[in-house]
């Protein structure tokens, strides 16, 4: 199978990268291609949308958090299975350390530049040439977003001076809805599949030029393999109960796969449905999500709260990330300023705020070395509980998020990427560590 691969990037956020990536993925699928999509950098929501567009799971690629070896392994696996590989960039092409441009150069992924042409014409050429030459990066071509007419598209194409205009997308009457942490979740968008089909239909794209792109040349390195779990399997016999519903859905697929590779069996329960932690659970994982949008239901749920308190009293390891931690505080104040009672395992109260409180790549120290991940939140925790540890921001190394340990509970705004340190993850979910 011959796969073509591109990194879809732009000069800045808000130019339409996700819309174009979703539209192109759906268009290629409708043309009979097998498509794999990846997201550059830490992200939970965009991959959900992109998975709906292409029909296959979407993994993260990041040279620091995921690591070059695992990134190469994921790309090589995709190249062996798919006709087309689309990697959506993050922020602007050169933003961040590492940047999307760094990923492009590391794996020889040519850039498909998304240009918001809504308020420009010939200047698009200057912008695209600057994006290409600053790094430099290889430029596969351009998709012009928010194009007003065929004449407008022709002016953009003429300005590119030899860089092909592979596609155009007109201004949209309706855009993908957003909220404070990004796009609205796919399951909340009525008629999402029809919207994706409409975007694919409206995206004019030169499939012949796509097929003329060089084949992806991404081979496994000789020592390239997924991070190996310590042997014997340290979580063999463990049953990890994972909160999973509209309030708790920020889960990397790779995190679940890592827990299973360590030997654990996974069970799911829904706090929103007031489901209790399964009685046979040996550990609990509360990932991030949007508890602030579901305060009334969570506050009214007595079974899930009582089961968490019982698990905590019994000494079961409980790992709570961001939204999971928010739901285990004594109270959660929503954006309207109303405070709602929560499970109360962690002393203190959480309040939503209008401005960003934390964002970026971080690493959490453990006895098995650092666990890499990130943080992204709009709330603050006020607590008298002293931090047991503090994450380090990347690349500055300055102090990041507090990590709290109350009995068998570990709670933080930090989201861990479990494949970065399976041994540390095994310890987190082991009763001996708790």
Structural element, H or E, at residue 132: helix 123-134
Specify the pTM: 0.92
Average pLDDT over residues 334-347: 97
> Percentage of the chain with pLDDT > 90?
88
Tell me the two tokens of residue 103.
């990923």
pLDDT at 148: 95
Count of Cβ atoms closer than 10 Å to residue 148 Cβ: 13
39-54 pLDDT, tens digit per residue, is 999 999 899 999 999 9
**Alpha carbon distance 53, 23 (integer Å):** 7
| Range in 29-33, 172-176, 245-249, 418-422 with the lowest mean pLDDT | 172-176
pLDDT at 224: 47
Q: Which residue has the tokens 């390239």?
A: 224
Q: What is the dihedral of CA 114, 116, 122, 128, to 10 degrees?
A: -30
pLDDT at 184: 66
Q: Is the pLDDT of residue 161 over 60?
A: yes
Average pLDDT over residues 21-46: 95
82-118 pLDDT, tens digit per residue, is 999 999 999 999 999 999 999 999 999 999 999 999 9
Sign of CA dihedral 374, 182, 334, 319: negative
Q: How far is CA 95 from CA 72, 124, 197, 337, 381, in A?
A: 21, 19, 31, 35, 29
DSSP strand pairing (283-286 vs 318-321)? parallel
pLDDT band of residue 220 (cuts 50, 70, 90) is confident
pLDDT at 24: 98
Tell me the two tokens of residue 262.
């360590």
End-to-end CA separation in angstroms for the chain? 48
**Alpha carbon distance 73, 227 (integer Å):** 10
> Which of 279, 275, 219, 212 shows the shortest CA–CA distance to 247?
275
Whether residue 407 contacts residue 344, with contact meaning beta carbons closer than 8 Å, is answered with: no
Sign of CA dihedral 76, 77, 78, 82: positive
Of 296 and 225, which is predicted with more confidence? 296
Sign of CA dihedral 383, 389, 391, 396: positive
> Which of 265, 196, 148, 173 shows the shortest CA–CA distance to 37?
196
Residues 6+ apart with CB under 8 A from 8: 17, 20, 21, 24, 86, 87, 88, 89, 111, 112, 114, 143
Question: Average pLDDT, whole number, for the chain?
Answer: 93
Residue 142 β-bridge partners = 113, 165
Give the phi and the psi of residue 320 in degrees, each rounded to 5. Answer: -125, 120
Tell me the two tokens of residue 429.
């979910």
322 part of the active site: yes
Q: Could you give the domains of the chain?
A: 4-212 (3.40.50.300), 239-428 (3.40.50.880)
Question: Phi-psi category of 197—alpha, beta or left, where left has phi over 0 and alpha has psi -120 to 50?
Answer: alpha
What Rg, from alpha-carbon coordinates, does the chain have?
23
> Which of 74, 60, 64, 138 shows the shortest CA–CA distance to 101?
138
Q: Is the pLDDT of residue 173 over 70?
A: no
Whether residue 9 contacts residue 17, with contact meaning beta carbons closer than 8 Å, is answered with: yes
Q: How far is CA 157 from CA 134, 139, 204, 338, in A?
A: 21, 14, 13, 53
3-state helix, strand, coil in the chain (%, to 5): 30, 30, 40
What DSSP string describes 227-268? PPPPSS-TTTT-EEEEE-BTTB-B--HHHHHHHHHTT-EEEE
Which residue among 40, 54, 295, 322 is the active-site one?
Answer: 322
**Alpha carbon distance 135, 113 (integer Å):** 14
Residues 6+ apart with CB under 8 A from 398: 392
């Amino acid at each position: 199978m011959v796969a073509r691969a591109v990194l879809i990037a732009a000069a800045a956020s808000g130019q339409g990268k996700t819309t174009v990536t979703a539209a192109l993925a759906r268009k290629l699928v409708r043309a009979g291609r097998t498509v794999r999509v990846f997201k550059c950098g830490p992200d939970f929501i965009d991959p959900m949308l992109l998975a709906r567009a292409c029909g296959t799971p979407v993994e993260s690629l990041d040279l620091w958090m995921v690591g070059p070896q695992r990134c190469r392994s994921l790309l090589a696996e995709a190249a062996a299975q798919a006709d087309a590989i689309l990697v959506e960039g993050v922020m602007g092409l050169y933003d961040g350390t590492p940047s999307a441009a760094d990923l492009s150069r590391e794996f020889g992924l040519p850039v498909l530049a998304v240009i918001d042409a809504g308020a420009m014409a010939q200047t698009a050429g200057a912008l695209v040439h600057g994006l290409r030459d600053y790094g430099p990066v290889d430029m596969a071509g351009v998709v012009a977003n928010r194009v007003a007419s065929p004449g407008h598209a022709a002016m953009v194409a003429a300005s590119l001076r030899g860089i092909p205009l592979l596609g155009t997308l007109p201004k949209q009457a309706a855009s993908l809805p957003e909220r404070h942490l990004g796009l609205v979740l796919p399951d909340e968008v009525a008629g999402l599949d029809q919207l994706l089909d409409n975007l694919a239909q409206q995206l004019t794209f030169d499939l012949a030029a796509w097929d003329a792109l060089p084949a992806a040349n991404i081979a496994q390195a000789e020592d390239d393999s997924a991070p190996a779990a310590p042997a014997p399997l340290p979580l063999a016999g463990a049953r990890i109960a994972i909160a999973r519903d509209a309030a708790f859905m920020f889960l990397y697929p790779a995190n679940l796969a890592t827990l299973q590779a360590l030997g654990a069996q996974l069970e799911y329960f829904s706090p929103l449905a007031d489901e209790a932690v399964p009685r046979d659970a040996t550990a609990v994982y509360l990932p991030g999500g949007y508890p602030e949008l579901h305060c009334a239901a969570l506050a009214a749920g007595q079974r899930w709260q009582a089961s968490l308190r019982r698990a905590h009293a019994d000494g079961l390891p409980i790992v709570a990330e961001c939204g999971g931690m928010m739901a285990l505080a004594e109270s959660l104040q929503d954006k309207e300023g109303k405070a709602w009672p929560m499970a109360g395992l962690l002393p203190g109260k959480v309040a939503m705020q209008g401005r960003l409180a934390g964002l970026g790549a971080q690493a959490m120290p453990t006895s098995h070395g650092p666990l890499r991940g990130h943080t992204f939140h709009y709330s603050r925790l006020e607590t008298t509980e002293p931090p047991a540890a503090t994450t380090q921001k990347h690349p500055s190394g300055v102090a990041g998020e507090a990590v709290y340990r109350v009995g068998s509970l570990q709670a933080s705004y930090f989201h861990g990427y479990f494949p970065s340190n399976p041994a540390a993850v095994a310890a987190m979910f082991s009763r001996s560590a708790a």
